[in-house]
Amino acid sequence: YNKFCFYRWMAMAALGQEEDDDDGGFMADYDLFPIPSSRPFINTRIQQHRFVDELPHDGRFTIYDSAKNAGGIPSLMSGSADEWNNMISAIVNKFEDPDLPTYGGRTTDMLVVMSLHKDSPDRFYNIDQKVVSGIKSVDNELPWEEKCHEFEGFYGIHFSHDTLVRGKQKGIFPENMEASERVSLATDMLKTWAKECDTMRRVIT
């Protein structure tokens, strides 16, 4: 799984390898569920698989999800081809750092991205928080009126593994809920969101 997380970066960097091809683009986690009415590429037309208009932030590499003061969470990202290449180079070089953090004896692309931010917060990428954490979206203590107002203009909801763990700890999800059930959970949440929030009625048709 961790290897594939790194392969996806190389795949995005490879998109700009063809001659006269400097498109770049967006990459999203498989558990990032988009909110169509607020999609980040609303001003980016695609013609023959090429981006015609400018990417957000003038193509500067941007991560739209983050942890408090810890750096970006790579659930939704965008950048030009050059920026993707710069990031993959920085990631590969970071593996030479003997202090690179690990989780369960392994490093992850998220830990590397956060480590880059710790080294130099403004050098490698922008952070533009436009992703709703999955746990916030299912938190029953937050009224829908507040949810709709607070998250208006966001791009998507990230139903990560952490959402499942924290949801069980809070008693929101049953203890026997499996990771594979996140899809149905997210679908139900988006339907409810569309029903409760006037600005979200186009999410589910």
Per-residue pLDDT in tens (0 to 9) along the chain, 205 residues: 777 788 888 888 887 655 555 578 889 998 998 775 555 544 454 444 454 457 888 889 999 999 887 889 999 999 988 899 999 999 888 888 888 877 777 888 888 999 999 888 888 899 999 998 888 888 878 888 888 888 888 888 899 888 999 999 999 889 999 888 888 888 888 888 778 876 545 444 4
- What tokens were used for 33? 């569920």
**Residue 149: its pLDDT value, please?**
81
Q: Show Cβ contacts of residue 79 under 8 Å, excluding neighbours closer than 6 positions.
A: 24, 55, 59, 60, 61, 62, 87, 125
Q: How many CB atoms lie within 10 A of CB 96?
A: 7
Query: Cα angle at 6 between 155 and 56, to 5 degrees?
Result: 30
The rounded Cα 18 to chain-centroid distance in angstroms is 26
- What tokens were used for 9? 């970066």
- What's the chain's Rg over C-alpha atoms? 18
Q: Show Cβ contacts of residue 8 under 8 Å, excluding neighbours closer than 6 positions.
A: 27
**Residue 63: its pLDDT value, please?**
94
**Residue 95: its pLDDT value, please?**
84
- What tokens were used for 180? 């594979």
CA distance 80 to 57: 10
Q: 107 near 100, Cβ under 8 Å?
A: yes
**Residue 37: its pLDDT value, please?**
56
CA distance 31 to 28: 8
**Residue 38: its pLDDT value, please?**
56
Per-position b or e across 121-130, b if 16+ CB within 10 A of its CB: eeebbbbbeb
Q: How many CB atoms lie within 10 A of CB 150?
A: 12
Q: Are strands 25-28 and 76-79 parallel, antiparallel or unpaired?
A: antiparallel
- What tokens were used for 116? 């880059």
